[in-house]
Amino acid sequence: MQPRDLSAHTPYVPGRGSEEVARELGMDPDDLTKLSSNENPFGPSPKAVDAVREAAADVDVYPTTSHTDLTETLAAKWDLAPAQIWVSPGADGSIDYLSRAMLDPGDSVLVPTPGFSYYGMSARYHHGSVATYELSKADDFAQTPEAVLDAYDGERIVYLTTPHNPTGAEFSTEGVVELAESVDEDALVVVDEAYGEYADARSAIDLLGERDDVAVLRTFSKAYGLAGLRIGWAAVPDEWADAYARVNTPFAANEVACRAALAALDDEAHVERTVETARWARGYASDHLDARTWESAGNFVLADVGDASAVAEASQREGVIVRDCTSFGLPSCVRISCGTEDQTRRAVETLNGVLSEVAKA
């Protein structure tokens, strides 16, 4: 017996982990600087760590109160009704919930290329198909309604990422409105703000008061430093908010994650420090890296290094792990996550060394 035809399903390619690379190179994971997955270099808030410890004793019960508390806290923070907050295992979980809620078999979604691969993966799992719009390198990956509308052909969901992974480019809120008004009436525009905390722009969540065709994705994985707990959420329009009860996987957002997320929301100083350091690191990398970079509003910088696989491998041998963007469709680019000051300086120095070796070869 075989599973269904999965030939169109491409596996997700994660950034490489320290443990994995350390084993391969016979190094101590502590000697590695891992800047490949846009994680928080300061780790989780100490308050979240305490919450995880405390929650450990309660994991015999299904998460109910914690889920309600988190939903209500987010609703209050963002001035939405609790039913408009769809808590999920990572923002990836919300992508699945939106696929389930929106897609009939054969419906399609429109996604950016280069871009985050899970949008298309989720659509395919849910018997949908995937079309792409191009963000062109020649155009500095500019994110405009025109770039999306040129490719738009009646898709049910249109995904925007702002700040965009891996380029760092933003999509303006005015642009989101223009796009939502230009696509079909039953098309949902999903604005993925996984890196929203790092940007100055206002959130597209502000649009939900007046629009029923925009949803926004948010996560605790990046600025809040909880990637390992898998907790995120979607903000959805009031009109169809009650679909959540019909599409969510029961108890998928776990007790420990919900408690940690609540504690993390309570530590604004940790997020501020994280965001400020990322801003510094973006500037440092673009000023000092001997490679072309693009302006980024996220916690990472995209750099044009020639042969990305060769550069990422050489840099890894020197103990600095960056993300080879070949799997994003950018074989000449690496993405460098913002680290602490020390990590960022080390990464830039190491990459510059690698680049000068490559130039000599």
Ligand X SMILES: *Cc1c(COP(=O)(O)O)cnc(C)c1O
Q: Which residues bind ligand X (CB under 6 A)?
A: 90-92, 116, 161, 165, 192, 194, 219, 221-222, 227, 232
φ, ψ (nearest 5 deg) of residue 215: -130, 155
Give whichever of 160 and 354 is closer to ligand X, judged by the CB atom. 160
Give whichever of 155 and 192 is closer to ligand X, judged by the CB atom. 192
Instruction: Report the candidate in 159, 104, 168 with the shortest Cα–Cα distance to residue 140.
Output: 168
Q: How far is the CB of 352 from ligand X (least distance, A)?
A: 26
Instruction: Report the candidate in 179, 191, 182, 269 with the shortest Cα–Cα distance to residue 224.
Output: 269
Q: How far is the CB of 219 from ligand X (least distance, A)?
A: 3
Exposed, middle or buried, 124 (CB in 10 Å: 0-12/13-18/19+)?
Answer: middle
Give whichever of 37 and 343 is closer to ligand X, judged by the CB atom. 37
Give whichever of 36 and 350 is closer to ligand X, judged by the CB atom. 36
Q: How far is the CB of 1 from ligand X (least distance, A)?
A: 31
Residue 271: enclosing H or E segment and its boundaries? helix 268-288
Q: How far is the CB of 179 from ligand X (least distance, A)?
A: 18
Give whichever of 225 and 319 is closer to ligand X, judged by the CB atom. 225
Give whichever of 84 and 219 is closer to ligand X, judged by the CB atom. 219
Q: What is the dihedral of CA 242, 99, 204, 173, to 10 degrees?
A: -140
Q: Do 166 and 137 contact (CB within 8 A), yes or no?
A: no
Residue by residue, DSSP assigns 131-191 as EEEEPPGGGTT---HHHHHHH-SS-SEEEEESSPTTT-----HHHHHHHHHHS-TTPEEEE
User: Tokens at residue 221, please?
Assistant: 């994985």
Q: How far is the CB of 56 from ligand X (least distance, A)?
A: 22
Instruction: Report the candidate in 282, 342, 349, 293 with the shortest Cα–Cα distance to residue 318.
Output: 349
Q: How far is the CB of 14 from ligand X (least distance, A)?
A: 10
Q: Do 229 and 256 contact (CB within 8 A), yes or no?
A: yes
Chain position whose Cβ is nearest to ligand X: 90
Give whichever of 80 and 194 is closer to ligand X, judged by the CB atom. 194
Q: How far is the CB of 115 from ligand X (least distance, A)?
A: 8
Give whichever of 216 and 354 is closer to ligand X, judged by the CB atom. 216
Instruction: Report the candidate in 336, 261, 271 with the shortest Cα–Cα distance to residue 300.
Output: 336
Chain centre distance of CA 309? 22
Give whichever of 78 and 306 is closer to ligand X, judged by the CB atom. 78
Exposed, middle or buried, 346 (CB in 10 Å: 0-12/13-18/19+)?
Answer: middle
Q: How far is the CB of 197 from ligand X (least distance, A)?
A: 12
Q: How far is the CB of 103 from ligand X (least distance, A)?
A: 18
Exposed, middle or buried, 79 (CB in 10 Å: 0-12/13-18/19+)?
Answer: exposed
